[in-house]
Structure 1
Amino acid sequence: MSTLHWAGLLLLAVVAGAVVPFQSAINANLGRGLGHPLWATLASLLVSIVVLLPILLALRLPLPPLQFVSKAPLWMWAGGAFGVCFISLALVLLPKLGASGFLALALAGQVVASLALDHYGLFGLVERQMTMSRAFGALLLMAGVALIQFSAVPAKGLVTPG
């Protein structure tokens, strides 16, 4: 893989991470407007479908093989449930923890879970053993999370109830 290709992948990963705080903040406001975080979760997922369907049609992707759909293990369908979990928790927690606090904690959870997934090669991932440097990186991240969350100046402006 060329250096330019590798750099492009890294940049896309940064973009993927950068859209999360925008999604979370927008959905938190949507949840307040709709009266409950679960309505905002549903709205977010419906908008995802409305955006994705034309892309699928424009790319003329063939339908997935029915044989796979009918025989895939149940865990392969859990991604949607995890998406609902993340969106709903973001809607509830982001207004209370702030965007940086919530996302720092969410990132910490992602890194810890990712290290376990890699170490054990779960869900078809290639095994990547836990090393001292990987563990140290996770500890540094946790220190960063603590600094972001616990060194914040008290919030100004809109205070959300309870």
Structure 2
Amino acid sequence: MPGSFSFLVAALLAGAVVPFQAGANAMLGRLLGHPLWATFVSLGVSLVLIVPVMIAFRLPVPSAGMALKGPWWIWIGGAAGVVYITAALLLAPKLGAASFIVAVIAGQMIASLAIDHFALMGFAHRPVNIARFAGLAFIIAGLVVTQWASAVAPATQSDTNPTQNGDQK
């Protein structure tokens, strides 16, 4: 259990950076004139950051032949990244960070339960049970409450001003 607790903490920390990514990329998209430019730059920054890490770890160059022998779905990770980054760029500013992220988490949970239940993509079979379904229901309830709270107290113009807090165009 102590090992899995540290994994959960690491996953929580990784999740905590996601709203900052959405906000940073949304501002970048506005400054560059189009969200797809921000997607491109974001993925480029990822590449620039990962290459020195790979060099530091002295990772050997992989055999492309082995990857070509894998199932078709191993290639969708990059496409999923583009879909997510672009959706964050377009939707987070309109929904707000909290509403966007809780919707993303609800979507992730629905897909994750299906992946576990049907043992897709190499994951172990973990059937949907009442407790796992209840967890999803709580997340969806959180989505509804977050949306309701946003409707009750909509963003003001100063809340959505891209030049607030000293940011200048």
TM-score, normalisation: structure 2: 0.89
Looking at structure 1, the residues matched to 17 and 159 of structure 2 have their Cα atoms a distance apart, in angstroms, of 23
**Superposed, which structure 2 residues align to 1:9-158 within 5 Å?**
9-152=7-150, 153-156=153-156, 157-158=158-159
Looking at structure 2, the residues matched to 25 and 120 of structure 1 have their Cα atoms a distance apart, in angstroms, of 34
Looking at structure 1, the residues matched to 138 and 159 of structure 2 have their Cα atoms a distance apart, in angstroms, of 32
Query: Greater shift after overlay, 142-151 or 65-74?
Result: 65-74
Q: Is the 8 A contact 1:119 1:130 kept in 2?
A: yes
Looking at structure 2, the residues matched to 102 and 36 of structure 1 have their Cα atoms a distance apart, in angstroms, of 19
Looking at structure 1, the residues matched to 76 and 33 of structure 2 have their Cα atoms a distance apart, in angstroms, of 27
Deviation readout 1:36-94 (Å, 9 max, x if unpaired): 10100000000000000000000001111232123223210110000000000000000
Q: CA deviation at 1:15?
A: 0.7
Query: Greater shift after overlay, 130-139 or 96-105?
Result: 130-139
Gaps of 5+ in 1: none
Q: Is the 8 A contact 1:112 1:138 kept in 2?
A: yes
Q: Any idea what SS the aligned residue of 2:62 has?
A: coil
Work out the number of aligned pairs and report it.
Answer: 158
Looking at structure 1, the residues matched to 34 and 137 of structure 2 have their Cα atoms a distance apart, in angstroms, of 36
Coordinate RMSD, CA, aligned: 1.3
Looking at structure 2, the residues matched to 115 and 121 of structure 1 have their Cα atoms a distance apart, in angstroms, of 10
Q: Any idea what SS the aligned residue of 1:63 has?
A: coil
Looking at structure 2, the residues matched to 98 and 135 of structure 1 have their Cα atoms a distance apart, in angstroms, of 26
Gaps of 5+ in 2: 162-169
TM-score, normalisation: structure 1: 0.93
Spell out structure 1 runs of 4+ moving beyond 6 A.
none
Looking at structure 2, the residues matched to 144 and 69 of structure 1 have their Cα atoms a distance apart, in angstroms, of 39
Query: Greater shift after overlay, 59-68 or 98-107?
Result: 59-68
Percent of pairs with identical residues: 46
Looking at structure 1, the residues matched to 64 and 140 of structure 2 have their Cα atoms a distance apart, in angstroms, of 43
Q: Is the 8 A contact 1:100 1:149 kept in 2?
A: no
Q: CA deviation at 1:7?
A: 2.1
